[in-house]
Chain A
Amino acid sequence: MTTYSDPYASSRETTEGTVFSVTGGDWDSLVSEIGESKEERIIVNMGPQHPSTHGVLRLVLELEGETVTEVRTGIGYLHTGIEKNIEYRNWTQAVTFATRMDYLAPIFNETAYCLAVEKLLGITNDVPERASVIRVMMMELNRISSHMVALGTGALELGAMGPMFFAFRDREIVLDTFEEITGLRMNMAYVRPGGVSQDLPAGMTVKIREVVKTLRKNFEDNAKLLIGNTIWMKRTEGIGYLDLAGCTTLGITGPVLRSAGLPWDLRKMQPYCGYENYEFEVITADTSDVYGRFLVRMAELEQSLRIIEQAADKLDKLEGQPVMVADKKIAWPAQLALGADGLGNSLEHIREIMGTSMESLIHHFKLVTEGFRVPAGQAYAAVESPRGELAAHVVSDGGTRPYRVHFREPSFNNLQSTSAMSEGGMVADIIGAVASIDPVMGGVDR
């Protein structure tokens, strides 16, 4: 790094040419300095703090007038060392770290990790059906809330403020449902290896059906605002073009791949958690542009609602079934309940472990302090998150702590396509292209 006395000086010479720092109130001096140079090509830094870059993403643009000649992406501003932290926690505690990676779709992170751990444990077929159905329902609700943020912020970045309010209104409805079921709005740590941490509260399926009805009506608001809107279409049609060949070589999955025409959806092609028992369609578009991806996401909302309705029906039939695997040496022991002093272990559970069953006490103690042991080996489990294929690659050395967990985040791959989508276009179209990729920087940087 070249040393210079004032970090906020207006210009300095470097090996690449003159670098101008704009700090405000100095437009005249900037214009006079640039005016002398004959360079048409300027390099602009859309830094990590920017309202329209979907999080802490740094874009270095090389501009010739309004046309973008080169886009370089800088990431790593949210690197948290989650994967290294997981190596110091036991298998169940790792869920709380995994869930904060892609913070718009926490249930997907947890499910990918838990599916991989269950593969290693060999209990994939022993996870109770009720737990799988609850997982599916929570995942589809999360898909709706994530797409709402994608639509709302995408529209906001392109200048439309109305959809943001509608989207966040619907998201609040979904978050209220999450709060009733899991206790938290975001980052719930609800899905644990072996099942889910606790069962649904009584009467929840009735509430879920009402939520589905409300959401179905509410989605019309955003659809009426944007689909067919001339300004919206002018800003999104033909923008951010990435065809099928580009998608496959860059390893891109999710709505971006489906907007190129390929109906690739892991829920249909390599089903998990019982997805083969649900009826839904895989939405594709054939325009490979921002508008196509927007239509794909809007239509996926309706498909998610269909799956949630089917899940609610299944849950009614499976009333009273366990939600954790039967093997007591793996199953998370506690059952939570709301007591006089807040949320804690339910009194029946305490009565059981302190009064009646010695084994329950031992299991509770050992599982919470030491954790279960997972046989050595490695496993890779993938789920279809709102952004694409989210997979956990888990390596175990036979102990109570993961040896290595690596998350294959869809946003990490998808963001590599920014250069391919934006170069040759105009500056304003970069925003649309990045918004259509819908990256979540927490997942990109982990």
Chain B
Amino acid sequence: MGLEDKLPSGILLSTVEGLAGYMRKSSLWPATFGLACCAIEMMALGSAPKHDISRFGMERFSASPRQADLMIVAGRVSQKMAPVLRQIYDQMTAPKWVISMGACASSGGMFNNYAIVQGVDHIVPVDIYLPGCPPRPEQLMDAIIKLHTLIGDTKLGPNREAIIKEVELAAMNAKPTIQMKGLLA
């Protein structure tokens, strides 16, 4: 990243963080990655006057990944489409975020078989998982608002490195899901 990474931790950095976060989240441009049924609900969010994504400044879906900030993976990712997905993600310029929209993108959904990648996080790092089959446009809007909060709170510079270390440590020490037996134990 740029100048903001070189600032020392302190009041100046947190002001810059707030400013950068505000500017980044205020007009995210989604990349068109509509695959299946969820794409139609994404289009409904984008162009139906009832759910209006222009309220966030996001109605300009960018076909070119170079100009896009957000990739909303909407729909089931088949084995044939997976390399294409990765290539588009790589072509996006940082900073970039991924919302995995729908059950099929988050985990393979109801299609637990040979043809569908069981979760798009096998291919790209995901920031927000949105369940639903398909999720209503309002649910997608909720995911986008949560993403906005996430982006607004992004730390920069030394703060960011500290957070990354913390998250990594927590992930290394975490119990695997299958061992979290809860009341079953």
Secondary structure of the B side of the interface? loop
Count of chain B residues near A, Cβ 8 A: 41
Partner of B111, one of A80, A171, A175: A80
Given contacts A24-B66, A168-B44, A172-B44, contact A76 B50 (CB under 8 A): no
B35 touches A78 (CB 8 A): yes
With contact pairs A23-B91, A445-B78 given, residues A172 and B48 touching in the complex (Cβ less than 8 Å): yes
Q: Which of chain B's residues have a CB closer than 8 A to the CB of A23?
A: 91
Residues of B within 8 A of A172 (CB): 44, 48-50
Check if A81 sits within 8 Å of B111, measured CB to CB: yes
Q: What's the least CB distance linking A239 to chain B, in Å?
A: 22
Point out the residues of chain B lying under 8 angstroms from A50, CB to CB.
63
**Which segment of B80-88, B163-171, B172-180 sits at the interface?**
B80-88
Chain A 40-53 per-residue mask, 1 if CB under 8 angstroms from chain B, else 0: 00000001111100
Q: Known interface pairs A23-B91, A100-B37, A169-B48. Does A80 touch B78 (Cβ–Cβ under 8 Å)?
A: yes
Task: Report yes or no: A76 in contact with B78, Cβ–Cβ below 8 A.
Answer: yes
Q: Give Cα A152–Cα B88 distance, bound, in whole angstroms.
A: 26
Task: Select A78's contact among B44, B75, B114, beta carbons within 8 Å.
Answer: B75
The answer to whether A169 and B40 touch across the interface, beta carbons within 8 angstroms, is no
B110 touches A78 (CB 8 A): no
Residue of A whose beta carbon sits closest to that of B90:
A8
B residues near A104, Cβ cutoff 8 Å: 40
B32 at the interface (CB under 8 A from A): yes
Is B41 at the interface (CB under 8 A from chain A)?
yes
Nearest CB on A from B66, distance (A): 5
- Contact between B37 and A186 (Cβ–Cβ < 8 Å)? yes
CB of A85 within 8 Å of the partner chain: yes
Closest chain A residue to B34 by CB distance? A55
Whether B134 sits at the interface, judged by CB under 8 Å, is yes
Cα separation A50 to B79 with both chains bound (whole Å): 18
Q: A residues within 8 A CB of B134?
A: 185-187
Chain A 52-80, CB-CB to B under 8 Å as 1, else 0, gives: 00011000000000000000000011111
A–B pairs, 15, beta carbons within 8 Å: A24-B91, A48-B81, A51-B32, A76-B80, A77-B80, A78-B76, A80-B76, A80-B113, A84-B113, A96-B110, A103-B37, A165-B47, A165-B49, A168-B49, A172-B44
Q: Which 5 A-B pairs have the closest CB atoms?
A: A103-B37, A81-B115, A51-B63, A168-B48, A77-B81
